[in-house]
Amino acid sequence: MDITAIITGRRSVRAFRPDPVNQEHLLQILEAARWAPSPHGRQPWRFVVATQPMLKARLADAMGEEWQRQLALDGQEEAIINLRLEKSHQRIRGAPAVIVPCLYLEDLDQYPDPDRQGAETTMAIQSLGCAVQNMLLRAYSLGLDTGWMCAPLFCPDTVRAALDLVEALIPHALITVGYAAKDPVRRPRRPLEELIVRWD
Ligand SMILES: Cc1cc2nc3c(=O)[nH]c(=O)nc-3n(C[C@H](O)[C@H](O)[C@H](O)COP(=O)(O)O)c2cc1C
């Protein structure tokens, strides 16, 4: 597959067939992350891979409880909360593999002022995004599909506890990996002329 076909073909998949993803493919996906650009080459990312049903269920349950609390705070109806929770549970439990990319800031430069430190952290987050995109593209090139869930960003402590992670790891997303149950409807893209706000 050529690079353009991979970039444009990659799509967000939210329901997977039960077929497992082989370990070699998962390793190739993680290997792609390793080659992403990073500030000062510090590679501020670490990954958790969950394929065992028990671990995926523990993660889904823990995040579900926290989400339920947050949705109740928003004043959402109980029936709607339960429906959304069940869908989210199913997305995680039904994915053959789940990768949790974590931000790791310990190797970054330290500055005495908050502005520069903030820029350093932003660079690391941008870089984590590059690593995740590499994974999504590599997965697609291997005939797999992926889905990006931002939920861990809203409950990093819960995810850390469910996965027994040290404090320095900041869970930033949950990437489901598997074979699409059906082709998803793609979101349209803005035309290029709308995106280029100035050229010279
Ligand atoms: C940072 C980020 C967070 C996202 N979070 C979610 C999410 O929580 N749930 C979800 O279903 N999709 C999520 N997505 C996927 C987007 O909805 C998806 O990329 C977008 O709709 C375009 O569709 P496509 O990926 O099929 O091209 C996220 C994507 C990004 C980059």
Residue 106 clears pLDDT 90, i.e. is over it: yes
The pTM is what? 0.96
Task: Label residues 87-105 b or e (16+ Cβ within 10 Å = b).
Answer: ebbebbebbbbbbbbbbbb
Q: Answer whether residue 59 is part of any domain.
A: no
Are 14 and 184 in contact, with CB atoms under 8 Å apart? yes
Q: Which residues, at least 6 apart from 160, have a Cβ–Cβ distance to it below 8 Å?
A: 166, 167, 169, 171
Distance 136 CA to ligand 1 centre (A): 12
Q: How many CB atoms lie within 10 A of CB 16?
A: 23
Distance 168 CA to ligand 1 centre (A): 26
Compute CA 35 distance to the chain's CA centroid, rounded to the nearest angstrom. 17
Residue 196 clears pLDDT 90, i.e. is over it: yes
> Among 132, 133, 150, 175, which is best to mutate for testing ligand 1, by the most ligand atoms less than 8 A from CB?
150
Q: Answer whether residue 124 is part of any domain.
A: yes
Q: Which residues, at least 6 apart from 149, have a Cβ–Cβ distance to it below 8 Å?
A: 88, 91, 92, 173, 174, 175, 176
Q: Answer whether residue 47 is part of any domain.
A: yes
Element (H, E) at 3: helix 3-9
pLDDT of 65-105, one tens digit each? 999 999 999 998 999 999 999 999 999 999 999 999 999 99
Q: Answer whether residue 17 is part of any domain.
A: yes
pLDDT of 119-153, one tens digit each? 999 999 999 999 999 999 999 999 999 999 999 99
Distance 52 CA to ligand 1 centre (A): 24
Q: Which atom of ligand 1 is nearest to the CA of 13?
A: 26
Q: Answer whether residue 188 is part of any domain.
A: no
The CATH number of the domain where 34 resides is what? 3.40.109.10
Locate 52 and state its tokens.
């065992």
Whether the CB of 87 sits within 6 Å of ligand 1? no
Q: How many domains does the chain have?
A: 1
Q: Answer whether residue 140 is part of any domain.
A: yes
For residue 153, the enclosing domain spans 3-51+95-181
Distance 193 CA to ligand 1 centre (A): 23
Distance 58 CA to ligand 1 centre (A): 23
Q: Answer whether residue 62 is part of any domain.
A: no
Model pLDDT, residue 136: 99
